[in-house]
Amino acid sequence: MASTDKMTDKASAVLLKILCIHGYRQTGKTFREKTGSLRKALKKHAEFVYMDAPNLIKSKSDESAATNEERGWWFSDSEGGFRAAEKTEVNPGYNESVETIAEALKEQGPFDGVLAFSQGAAMLALICGLKEQGDTRFQFNFAILVAGFRSLSSGHDNCFREKITFPTLHVFGDTDQVIPKESSEEMLQYFTEPVVLHHTGGHYVPATSAEKKVYIPFLEAQVKRKKEESETNS
């Protein structure tokens, strides 16, 4: 399921359409709620569409139960748990997530870009790798990765075989206690000329006037690039 931050037809004609991928233990709905300030800050530049991960997470209070309020993109163990810093040979749920994102891009699109947070940003990095290697299911032109990190599942190593060459913006907080900024910085090596946005906060999507000074020029550059490509192809 996906929910759209709707705009007027007139405004939509000039907006970038961005697919939003939530973090671990979130849903598209909760991620939309948590990014209200971002949507407000960028309402003249982008339309945001939110989707759900396909994998339900077991309830903390009842290990036999799952809740629609908590979802994830893959697990780092066979018991349905996830730890970003855990090296593992397994990634249950990952293939289902690849298919779900491909389906969202096809059915909800076309999209100009994808924005993702935390485990979602780690998932987006893998999708970027597949796209760079020629997987035609992933049609978008730029990516914004907030509090991202490299997956430590050995099954994902192939996604980092080639450097990602299309535009990316990487956002991370100096005081993030969930995904330390060092983990986000370490992932930059897999991208060509990444744009980096540091903020002084923790584990969230920042949207103050300071961050707008980076978000907006990045998005405006994507609009310019889109127009140039359209003129070249016409």
Catalytic residue among 76, 118, 153, 184: 118
Q: Which of 22, 156, 176, 199 is catalytic?
A: 176
- State the Cα–Cα distance between residues 29 and 40, nearest whole angstrom: 16
Task: Kindly state the DSSP code that residue 154 receives in the 8-state scheme.
Answer: G
Sign of the torsion angle spanned by Cα atoms 64, 69, 70, 73? positive
Sign of the CA dihedral running 198, 203, 205, 206? negative
Checking 182-186 for CB contacts under 8 A at 24+ apart, the result is: 183/84, 183/85, 183/149, 183/150, 184/145, 184/147, 184/148, 184/149, 186/149, 186/150
The answer to whether residue 118 is catalytic is yes
Does the annotation mark 45 as catalytic? no
Q: Which of 219, 206, 232 is nearest to 17 (CA)?
A: 219
Distance CA 70, CA 100 (A): 16
Encode 78-98: b = buried (16+ Cβ within 10 Å), e = exposed: eebebebeeebeebbbbeebb
Of 197, 200, 202, 201, the closest CA to residue 217 belongs to 197
Q: Which residues form the catalytic set?
A: 118, 176, 203
